[in-house]
Amino acid sequence: MGSWVWGFVTDFFTYETTKSVVVKSWSVGIINRIVQLLIITYFVCWVFIHEKAYQSTDTGIESSVMTKVKGFGYHHNHVMDVADYVSPPQGAGVFCIMTKLIITENQFQGKCAETGKRFSCNTDEDCHKHLGSILSNGVITGTCLNSSDGSKGMCEIEGWCPAENDGVVVMPMLDVNNFTIFIKNSIRFPLFNVTRGNFPSTMNSSEIKSCKYNPDTNPFCPIFRVGDVLNYTGQDVENLAAKGGEIGINIEWKCNLDLSIDYCVPKYSFTRLDEPFSRNAVSKGYNFRFAKYFKTENGTDFRTLHKAYAIRFDVMVTGNAGRFDTVPTLINLVAAFTSIGLGAVLCDLILLNFLKGAEQYKAKKFEEVSDAQIEASLAQSPGSLVSLKGGIKSSCDSGAMSLAASDQQL
Amino acid sequence: MGSWVWGFVTDFFTYETTKSVVVKSWSVGIINRIVQLLIITYFVCWVFIHEKAYQSTDTGIESSVMTKVKGFGYHHNHVMDVADYVSPPQGAGVFCIMTKLIITENQFQGKCAETGKRFSCNTDEDCHKHLGSILSNGVITGTCLNSSDGSKGMCEIEGWCPAENDGVVVMPMLDVNNFTIFIKNSIRFPLFNVTRGNFPSTMNSSEIKSCKYNPDTNPFCPIFRVGDVLNYTGQDVENLAAKGGEIGINIEWKCNLDLSIDYCVPKYSFTRLDEPFSRNAVSKGYNFRFAKYFKTENGTDFRTLHKAYAIRFDVMVTGNAGRFDTVPTLINLVAAFTSIGLGAVLCDLILLNFLKGAEQYKAKKFEEVSDAQIEASLAQSPGSLVSLKGGIKSSCDSGAMSLAASDQQL
Amino acid sequence: MGSWVWGFVTDFFTYETTKSVVVKSWSVGIINRIVQLLIITYFVCWVFIHEKAYQSTDTGIESSVMTKVKGFGYHHNHVMDVADYVSPPQGAGVFCIMTKLIITENQFQGKCAETGKRFSCNTDEDCHKHLGSILSNGVITGTCLNSSDGSKGMCEIEGWCPAENDGVVVMPMLDVNNFTIFIKNSIRFPLFNVTRGNFPSTMNSSEIKSCKYNPDTNPFCPIFRVGDVLNYTGQDVENLAAKGGEIGINIEWKCNLDLSIDYCVPKYSFTRLDEPFSRNAVSKGYNFRFAKYFKTENGTDFRTLHKAYAIRFDVMVTGNAGRFDTVPTLINLVAAFTSIGLGAVLCDLILLNFLKGAEQYKAKKFEEVSDAQIEASLAQSPGSLVSLKGGIKSSCDSGAMSLAASDQQL
């Protein structure tokens, strides 16, 4: 029993290594080394240095954005300030600067004439086809209101009266060009618990108040002139202010946390978000309607309807951070080493097929054993097994052994 | 010296290949090929074709959503239009359509009676237990206001008076069923710099204005009828309009950028977002309170409080894009090739243990060398080293050599 | 022809296995096994158990947040309720509780004196330098309005008059401490189609209404006392209420879907989001301006400007879910097995360089074949090829064979 255990232990603490054929041939040798060099170069330069395969990456960036607009504009002979033209007012990451307002004052609930040309009529029948329309300014009643001067009449609506006429020409507030947007963005990479703000803590109060963002000279200033932002997106302020539009302010954080945290800085870019729709003839620009509600002395509600053409700014924060991690490093290292072995496939092909003396190489590389041989050897000399057995492990443990052996082949 | 360098060079440009035993046995041969076939099939069909392991994936989709609701509804004998029932009005990705309003008009700051049954009282003591309550309509003063007709009194509150009575029955605005929602969604995959809009650029203005989304007949129309959306989520409009609820409109972009960009299209799905809470008895539906503020002639503030039951729509954009990339392809190819080698483990197990002539196979596969043998050979003929040395590299460089050799084993 | 096909088939169904050298040496054997053990331990404990490398992960969490604030506060001798101090009112994931309001009543469009010290002047020239300023309360006209009592005058502005004086001292509404925030959060992992809510479905109505979140005793209660939340972030309510600030309520979902879904629960954490800016002297706190609009009897617009200092709450939902998946499991298993083979590199180094009898081991492991030998054998006996050829495949198919053979080496 004791000797059996001892035998097992001595069998276990062995080391298997593959038997190799060393081919001293210049042609195959050089090809072999070149292929290995190419594979190593690829892995070192592309996979590890460029793609940073040794890092684990946190893409789940957490972000908080605060914005503040400043500036004054003239519109409808009023001076508009932030409280007038920014909506919603809370200074979130998505906000609109209203640049053109079509104002319909003193609307009361009641019945009145539609305004759009489409709703002109001679008889009630002309209006019946619009029943249930959602493109009117109120519920179409089906009645045609004839005008007093004998010209074409208009379909009657029920709702807020008088109806809005959004065909009027209103000059947009071009002063928007000089407005400034202050953006405060703090981010966190939860995986690495790293927190960053979008302007350096070394910037002092007066610097921040006086600077203007410029991608070249002042890339970390958090104050953006609206005119500049529109320029960067290649947009025309007149057009945008008149029709509205959506501008994306993208803050990109690409942080290599293996370097100093000071290199983890934001990069701003600006795009027109409704670009993909520029080829469509419909739904250009951006506008929305809202109302301010009032009460008469006797308690009747009335409202002022605003159709607001606005430039909407979406501050979008994206980014990822990478830091050295053992798991991806190991997996990629193993892949690299294994890939080097792939070079052998090419060399084997050349060696065993295209080289002078290929058959001799084959004879050296491959040792053949066939069923027939084994059977012959079994039949001929059953006793010879003993002589063979010297170097062979006992049957029961060779499973584990050969598994381990095979591992080394992988 | 020169010859030493030359020796090193000739040693370096060699090629090592493992010495193999070719077993010409039908049983093991067939098992070997079948195992290899299974592994290859798995990798080709599942890993590469189904899981697209040859692509790198961008999951950091950037998205911008613009929405516009249209339609008219009757509520409290008023015609409600977009400016009345949509909140917030800016047309963002999250918006509410208010379907039922409990309106408490002309609230002034002061003291008055609570409304809820819970706050009924006979004496001041009955009200003391509510002191500090946050579930009342104002700050509980602790006084019990007795009713004039001798019935139970009500606790007094300080705040906006009269107190809201949200127990009144108000018919919800069921016209919401026929409202339409227009969704403009533009996305970008920053990794690949691909931008897409949610309706094709070939759609013209009249097509877009006249179409209605239908998953089968019109899957790319960006106009959604509210009634249809509620249907898709299996919700009942009466119930939702009365109690409010949250509906998710999910826009999913799954883009295979190896194909034409035209196949990169949105897929809409609709869910009730408060579903996970359907089994809880509490907090069903969705409502919020807001106020409109007015001033009397003499400057006193008063307000109209609205408790709004609303259907909140969350337009959620998710997606990812994949494009062929060398790094994942290589890693997975290497994994595939390596896995094929795993088949050898099984074959070795069979060959060396269960096959007739296993011992002979072992003798062929394994060559044994033991400490004893080496020692014997060292003791016996120290000069024989020379004869061995012919085919062996010098000690100094064999480290590098064997490293390279081992690489081929991986 | 038939025999040629038969030959091909018999050649195809063979099995190649590497020829191994078994080294029965205690030193190398023990090192070999220890290295293998270390590698296996690393993979099992770290890669598989800790890093869960056998799971595929869904990081694209979809989330919907509903919030509701309750509580009453005194400010400017008014009782403020939810409709007064929460903005925006819809109960979204980002909302502000206004804690201090600087109210400027009855502003009409016109011209009047600025308020800030900075804009004091003696002559018009003093005001010219402010022309175009965006830090004033209106458009600077360039005129200096002299005060009647002979003291310094103020620059004139055009805009809403009277100008806001935000230097006045207003007591913040400290009652905010006792407000409560109810958070309803439902999430979905689209990859696994798993939906969860942030409080268990076993919680009944009264439990939810009466509980208060506490990380230790009540970690799943969805009602948060504002004072507690500020405490968790280490913030001082007096300071925050006076200057405003941004608080992040992070809901983290880390779900191991291989376990019961009941373990997939939220984890709340609280941070002050403007922390990264705490070292900057500028832009502390959080405030925004909004206006309420009124009309006089004769239809003139006027407004009440509010400068609101607010605590902004951002409910941020992050998380990921993992579930067993074959692809990552396989890739990591293969990496593990392959890494075990890496142990052989070390052992080879020791065996072939540092062990007694290294040269003998080399002679056993490496078989050498050189160009010279091959040429000699070719020249000497071209007929001997026949004898060699017995165990060798014909040239045409050996490419495929050796490819397969090489696969086993990888």
Are A236 and A223 in contact, with CB atoms under 8 Å apart?
no
- Residue C120, pLDDT above cutoff 50: yes
Give pLDDT, residue A359: 81
Type of residue numbered A53: A
d(C-alpha C313, C-alpha A192), whole Å: 23
pLDDT per residue over C34-86, tens digit each? 888 988 898 888 888 888 889 988 888 888 899 999 999 999 889 999 999 99
Q: Do B91 and A288 touch (CB under 8 A)?
A: yes
Q: Name chain C's partners: 3 or more CB pairs within 8 A.
A: A, B
Is A88 at the interface with chain B, CB within 8 A? yes
Cis omega (within 30 of 0) for bond into B222: no
Q: Which residues of B touch C330 (CB under 8 A)?
A: 47, 335, 339
d(C-alpha A233, C-alpha A344), whole Å: 53
User: Which of A72, A202, A181 is CA-nearest to residue C282?
Assistant: A202
Give pLDDT, residue C296: 92
Give pLDDT, residue C293: 94
The ipTM (two decimal places) reads 0.81
Enter the DSSP assignment of A297: T
Q: Name chain B's partners: 3 or more CB pairs within 8 A.
A: A, C
pLDDT per residue over A162-193, tens digit each? 999 988 899 999 999 999 999 999 998 988 98
Q: How many CB pairs under 8 A join A and C?
A: 281
Is B12 at the interface with chain C, CB within 8 A? no
Min Cα distance C356 → chain A (Å) is: 15
Neighbour-count burial of A313, counting CB atoms closer than 10 A to its CB (0-12 exposed, 13-18 middle, 19+ buried): buried
Neighbour-count burial of A33, counting CB atoms closer than 10 A to its CB (0-12 exposed, 13-18 middle, 19+ buried): middle
Q: Which of residues 245-264 of B touch A (CB under 8 A)?
A: none
Scan for tokens 């009713």, then name that residue.
B147
Scan for tokens 């500049």, then name that residue.
A228
Q: In this complex, which of B14, B199, B409 lies closest to A409 when CB atoms are compared? A: B409
Section A386-392 average pLDDT: 39
Q: Residue C136 corresponds to which tokens in the numbers above?
A: 């004033």
User: Which of B106, B77, B303, B108 is CA-nearest to residue B173?
Assistant: B77
Between strands A245-256 and A301-324, the pairing is: parallel
Residues whose CB is less than 8 angstroms from the CB of residue B407 and which lie 6 or more positions away in sequence, other chains included:
A36, A337, A340, A341, C345
User: Which of C225, C226, C222 is CA-nearest to residue C205?
Assistant: C222
* Higher pLDDT, residue B333 or C408: B333
Q: Distances from the Cα of A4 to the Cαs of B268, B369, C27, C351, in angstroms?
A: 70, 21, 21, 27
DSSP characters for C263-292? G--EEEEEEETTGGGTTSSS--S-EEEEEE
Picking from A161-175, C167-181, C330-344, which range would have the lowest pLDDT averaged per residue? Answer: C330-344
Average pLDDT, chain A: 84
Are C52 and C256 in contact, with CB atoms under 8 Å apart?
yes
pLDDT per residue over B32-72, tens digit each? 888 889 888 988 898 888 888 899 888 888 888 999 999 99
Which of A12-16, A42-46, B246-250 reaches the highest mean pLDDT? B246-250
Give pLDDT, residue B108: 95
Enter the DSSP assignment of C47: I
Is B366 at the interface with chain C, CB within 8 A? yes
Picking from A193-197, C144-148, C168-172, which range would have the lowest pLDDT averaged per residue? Answer: C144-148
Scan for tokens 């189609």, then name that residue.
C193
Any alpha helices (H) in B147-269, and if so which ranges? Answer: 205-210, 226-232, 237-243
Give pLDDT, residue C22: 85
* Higher pLDDT, residue A336 or B90: B90
Q: Do A205 and C282 touch (CB under 8 A)?
A: yes
Min Cα distance B272 → chain A (Å) is: 25
Q: Residue C337 corresponds to which tokens in the numbers above?
A: 């097995």
Q: In this complex, which of A357, A366, A391 lies closest to C391 when CB atoms are compared? A: A366
Q: How many residues does chain C have?
A: 410
Cis omega (within 30 of 0) for bond into B88: yes
Q: Distances from the Cα of C283 to the Cαs of A92, A214, C6, C97, C245, in angstroms?
A: 15, 20, 85, 19, 10
Q: In this complex, which of C159, C290, C365 lies closest to A20 when CB atoms are compared? A: C365
Q: In this complex, which of A16, A337, A366 lies closest to C22 when CB atoms are compared? A: A16
d(C-alpha A10, C-alpha C22), whole Å: 12
Q: In this complex, which of A90, A360, A405 lies closest to C388 when CB atoms are compared? A: A360
Enter the DSSP assignment of C164: P
pTM for this prediction? 0.84
Residues whose CB is less than 8 angstroms from the CB of residue B366 and which lie 6 or more positions away in sequence, other chains included:
A16, A391, A392, A393, C19, C20, C21, C22
Min Cα distance C369 → chain B (Å) is: 8
DSSP characters for B232-267? HTT--HHHHHHH-EEEEEEEEEEEETTS-GGG--EE
Is B342 at the interface with chain A, CB within 8 A? yes
Min Cα distance C305 → chain B (Å) is: 13
Min Cα distance A203 → chain C (Å) is: 7
Min Cα distance A281 → chain C (Å) is: 33
pLDDT per residue over A253-285, tens digit each? 999 999 998 899 999 999 888 877 877 666 678
Q: Which of residues 107-166 of A touch C (CB under 8 A)?
A: none
d(C-alpha B253, C-alpha B198), whole Å: 9
d(C-alpha C283, C-alpha C274), whole Å: 10
Picking from A363-367, A385-389, B332-336, C29-33, which range would have the lowest pLDDT averaged per residue? Answer: A385-389
Average pLDDT, chain C: 84
Give pLDDT, residue B385: 43
Between strands B194-197 and B245-256, the pairing is: unpaired
Q: Do B361 and A374 touch (CB under 8 A)?
A: yes
Residue numbers of chain B with a pLDDT score lower than 70: 1, 148-151, 280-283, 380-410
- Residue A34, pLDDT above cutoff 80: yes
